Amino acid sequence: MKRVFIFRDFKSQKFWSIDVCGSSFTVNYGKLGSEGQTQVKEFSSPEEAEQSAEKLIKEKLKKGYVETREEEAKEMKVEAKRFALSYDEFENDEKLLDKILKDKHLSEYKQLTIGCWDYECEDCADLVKGIVEHKDKFEHLEGLFWGDIDQEEQEISWIEQTNLSPMLDIMPHLKDLKIKGTNNLRLGQTSRPELRSLEIISGGLPSEVVDDIVKSDYPNLEKLILYVGVEDYGFDGSLDVFRPLLSKEKFPRLTCLGLVNAEEEDQVVEMLLSCDLLPQLKVLDISAGVLTDKGAQLLLDNREKIAHLELINMRYNYLTKEMCKRLHEELPMKVDTSDRQDAEEYDGEVYYFPLITE
């Protein structure tokens, strides 16, 4: 029987299918709306073909693919696209806004990813202004990833943002917002009732950005991921600036919460364990920071309080192998302790670093 799966995010809109027939299977994959590519693989027996197919299906599901009916998959269109300037385009004085507006399918995209707009560390104020001036072209958007810039183009600490509030105001249907880079970033202090997911990636999150979130109203937010970062690259407060966010009154529908990439990730754990949001959460994300056995022991000591969680993400950590083993054995939920780090020693000092800084 043929089984069909689709994957959608800010960058990808693709399908994958597998059809087992006797001792072989046929795989078809590609972008939604295309014929895709086809591969056939032979096995020594029907049983071996079935086992191999099931293994591949499990891998796809783990990556976020969702099974759907073949008829539905065939009717699906690409609803997301990434726009960015190459270095040659920038040297030729091309403008990213012009590139976006020239796309004849712009009105069909529900999600946009905006990559590099400049190679000289200039901000995106002109791009934001241009989008606002052409608001009829963008007001239908449901998803936006702003600042998807590779390290080869600019370090995250070099990405110059601006006040995005005027642009966000002309997107009343926006459900998913992801932003990378926080230099001079402002979100405005307003109500965004449609917003379901907010993720801000930074090597140092300015307290004024946190304050914008605190003083805004996102009553239907379900997912909040904030990269704390370090003082040298923009984090100018203490962990206390996040406390007003950790309230069920503030976020009554929140089920996924992450304060990640923190130098003091152990203290983040302590703070999260004491907040009244905890009982409603399904996913706790404490990844990418300096999480040590001290923070992990807090989780074990409070296992009854967190037993309802479905996942604790601790990917990239400074846990010992023994502690990782205990977490997997003693906690009832799924835990990700992959990408374990070792502290660096230099001139008699021991150093720990979050995943993202510069």
Residue 356 lies in a domain: no
Would you state the pLDDT for residue 1?
76
Residue 357 lies in a domain: no
- Asked if residue 62 and residue 103 are part of one domain, the reply reads no
Q: Could you tell me the maximum CA-CA distance found in the chain, to the nearest angstrom?
A: 64
In angstroms, how far is the first alpha carbon of the chain from the final one?
50
CATH number at residue 9: 2.20.140.10
- Asked if residue 99 and residue 41 are part of one domain, the reply reads no
Residue 262's closest CA among 254, 271, 273, 253? 271
- Report yes or no: 53 and 64 within 8 Å, Cβ to Cβ: no
Identify the domain boundary among 75, 91, 123: 75
- Asked if residue 183 and residue 129 are part of one domain, the reply reads yes
- Asked if residue 222 and residue 187 are part of one domain, the reply reads yes
In angstroms, the CA 293 to CA 335 distance is 15
- Asked if residue 103 and residue 23 are part of one domain, the reply reads no
Alpha helices (runs of H) in 76-124, residue ranges in sequence order: 87-91, 96-101
* DSSP structure string for 142-206: -EEEE----TTT--GGG-B--B-HHHHHT-TT--EEEEE--BT-B--SSB-TT--EEEEE-SB--
pTM of the predicted structure, to 2 decimals: 0.85
Look up the domain containing 31 and give its range.
2-75
Residue 111 lies in a domain: yes
Any idea which residue has 């806004």 for tokens?
97
Would you state the pLDDT for residue 32?
81
55 burial class (0-12, 13-18, 19+ CB within 10 angstroms)? exposed
In angstroms, the CA 252 to CA 247 distance is 8
The first and second tokens of residue 89, run together, are: 């385009």
Task: Express each pLDDT in 283-307 by its tens digit.
Answer: 999 999 999 999 999 999 999 999 9
- Asked if residue 266 and residue 220 are part of one domain, the reply reads yes
CATH number at residue 294: 3.80.10.10
Alpha helices (runs of H) in the chain, residue ranges in sequence order: 46-62, 70-75, 87-91, 96-101, 125-133, 165-169, 207-214, 265-273, 293-301, 321-330
- Asked if residue 258 and residue 196 are part of one domain, the reply reads yes
294 burial class (0-12, 13-18, 19+ CB within 10 angstroms)? middle
Residue 358 lies in a domain: no
- Asked if residue 157 and residue 25 are part of one domain, the reply reads no
Any idea which residue has 């991921």 for tokens?
225
Residue 161 lies in a domain: yes
- Report yes or no: 228 and 207 within 8 Å, Cβ to Cβ: no
Would you state the pLDDT for residue 299?
98
**Domain count for the chain:** 2
- Asked if residue 241 and residue 156 are part of one domain, the reply reads yes
> In the sheet that 256-262 helps form, which strands lie side by side, from edge to edge?
80-83, 111-114, 143-146, 176-180, 197-201, 223-229, 256-262, 283-285, 311-313, 334-336
- Asked if residue 327 and residue 211 are part of one domain, the reply reads yes
pLDDT in tens, the chain (358 residues): 799 998 887 777 888 999 999 999 999 998 887 888 999 999 999 999 999 999 999 999 988 899 988 888 777 766 788 999 999 999 999 999 999 999 999 998 999 999 999 999 899 999 999 999 999 999 999 999 999 999 889 999 999 999 999 999 999 999 999 999 999 999 999 999 999 999 999 999 999 999 999 999 999 999 999 999 999 999 988 999 999 999 999 999 999 999 999 999 999 999 999 999 999 999 999 999 999 999 999 999 999 999 999 999 999 999 999 999 999 999 999 999 999 999 998 888 889 999 999 8
Task: Express each pLDDT in 50-107 by its tens digit.
Answer: 999 999 999 999 888 999 888 887 777 667 889 999 999 999 999 999 999 999 999 9
- Asked if residue 293 and residue 179 are part of one domain, the reply reads yes
Residue 112 lies in a domain: yes
For 8, phi then psi, to 5°, come to -135, 130
Would you state the pLDDT for residue 64?
87
Residue 268 lies in a domain: yes
Residue 287 lies in a domain: yes
Would you state the pLDDT for residue 78?
65
Would you state the pLDDT for residue 159?
96
35 burial class (0-12, 13-18, 19+ CB within 10 angstroms)? exposed
Would you state the pLDDT for residue 77?
67
Amino acid letter, residue 312: I
In angstroms, the CA 77 to CA 161 distance is 31
In angstroms, the CA 229 to CA 128 distance is 26
- Report yes or no: 145 and 12 within 8 Å, Cβ to Cβ: no
- Asked if residue 64 and residue 100 are part of one domain, the reply reads no
Identify the domain boundary among 40, 75, 110: 75
Identify the domain boundary among 55, 75, 95: 75
In angstroms, the CA 94 to CA 78 distance is 25
